[in-house]
Amino acid sequence: MTPSTITELAPAKVNLTLRVGAARPDGYHPLDSLVVFADWGDMVEVRPGSGLLLTMSGEASRALPPDGNNLVLQAARALQVAAGIDDGAMIRLDKQIPVEAGLGGGSADAAATLRALNRLWGLDWTLDRLAEIGLTLGADVPACLYARPLRMRGIGEWIDILPAFDAFDAVILNPGVAVPTGPIFKAFDAADPAPLAEADPMGEDRLAWLRGERNDLEASAVARHPEIAGTLDWLRGQAGVALARMSGSGASCFALCADRASAERVADAYDGFARAVCLTGAVR
């Protein structure tokens, strides 16, 4: 019997690496990114309803539209159409991930909604099938549906799950500035980027490999938002930090730490939004 209430974690997405190529003729950018997910994020709760009704809580929800422009409702309607059903649902979103923060919050919420409604409505669709719907909602949604360590290429549609990947104790910081993705890509394009050069395969020493990688959007984001540079400089000066980098298009930054205690010390010391997390993706 289908449970009357279903809850799904919408984990924060972290781009440990992000290579970006010049825009394609259709305007999309080819990517090559190593993506992991935190054991922290938003929560999506669904239960039966006669229509689609969305309620929201959490400080970060104040920045979200409550209408049809919200990705949660878009995901629900897309699944209705794809399944050819008119079942309804009461949806509650508890929003903890900052908006426009480079942590894939909106995509994670849409993905969690698809997973939750798939169960509520008894569709029993595979994640691969849900991912086809997810790609119509946003390039990051398919990756967020799997919520596992993975390599994402193309515009987000080519996904290779990494079944054996090290867990990292880490801290996620946000300097308190919203960074819309569009202007960052526009600034990146203005620098006349080269075609995408995909990353070499990872060796056994994952941390050493990560240190040799980069986030191609970091320079453009830092130029527009110096607060990001300040956050990265601060992180790199903290004891126990092995690697610090911006995630996605910013402004959030992450640091891989020596252990959980180090991550918690860094989070406690930061004067702003900070979360000590485990980056594994094993959240379901």
Query: What is the signed CA dihedral for 58, 62, 66, 71, rounded to 10 degrees?
Result: -70
- Residue 97: count of CB within 10 angstroms of its CB: 25
Q: Which candidate in 13, 87, 95, 169 is catalytic? A: 13
Secondary structure element (H or E) that encloses residue 169, with its range: strand 168-174
Query: What is the signed CA dihedral for 136, 137, 139, 145, rounded to 10 degrees?
Result: -100
Cross-strand partners of 274 = 173
Q: If phi over 0 gives left and psi between -120 and 50 gives alpha, with beta otherwise, what is residue 156?
A: left
Backbone angles phi, psi at 11, to 5 degrees: -70, 145
Q: Which candidate in 32, 42, 87, 140 is catalytic? A: 140
Q: Tell me, yes or no, if 169 is annotated catalytic.
A: no
Q: Tell me, yes or no, if 13 is annotated catalytic.
A: yes
Q: Please give the positions annotated as active site.
A: 13, 140
